[in-house]
Amino acid sequence: MLKAVLFDLDGTLLDTAADFTRVLNSLLSEHGLPLQHYDAVRHRVSDGARAVVNLGFSLTPEHPDFDGLLNAFLDRYEQALSEQTSLFPGMDEQLQALEARDIAWGIVTNKPERFTTPLLEQLGLTERCATAICPDHVRERKPAAEPILLACAQLGIRADEAVYVGDHRRDIEAGQNAQMPTIACRYGYVSEGETPEDWNPDRIIDTPQGLLAALRDLQLLED
């Protein structure tokens, strides 16, 4: 019996790419560098801020200027987390449908708590979200199973009583490592050169509206 649906955050539950693009381009503009197109940034968001900074400045983390630029990016992002960020279209209806069935939903993300907690508050999701696990709470982040298993422990459920939904290979691997059914989101920030079929998820959805149908198809949800 399905008791919870756990989501990745960026690119799965929330569409955050516009804010990442805005912050990166403001920093690039100050340094007199070419601005990055939204689509290019979108493909990097699920790999984190380091990947976004690498895209804009063409620097690896080993470069002496990288940490300073990364910190400047993160500080600027923290000041305006939700100017253009929202739930993906159709996602709120899916969450409401889960809530109406008394199925908890939560978040397991590699986004640090420093950004996750205020972002959820700003979007009015804190009270609705049953658990939110960030890298700060575990020793090993995704694709390790530890964050997902911690979420299950907080909810008082077994891994096979939940499903994990994500838009990156590491999300599906994390769910598989936790021995949990997985759903991949083709609508999310799938990295260039990747295809969700390669990750071997249990199901793939093209839009948020496909979530409940996928759960039914997995025989995890009854009408």
Q: Give the residue numbers annotated as catalytic, written as ranges.
A: 8, 10
Whether 35 contacts 140, CB under 8 Å: no
Cα 175 to Cα 50: distance, rounded to the nearest angstrom: 24
Contact 137, 148 (CB under 8 A): no
- To the nearest 10 degrees (0 to 180), the angle between helices 113-122 and 66-79 is 20
- 166 forms beta bridges with 184
Q: Determine whether 102 is exposed, middle or buried from the number of CB atoms within 10 Å of its CB (0-12, 13-18, 19+).
A: exposed
Beta strand spans in the chain (E): 4-7, 14-15, 86-87, 104-108, 132-133, 162-166, 182-185, 203-205
Q: Which DSSP state fits 10? A: B
182, 176, 167, 171: which is closest to 214 by C-alpha? 182
Closest alpha carbon to 146 in 121, 170, 114: 170
Cα–Cα distance measured from residue 151 to residue 146, given in angstroms and rounded to the nearest whole number: 9
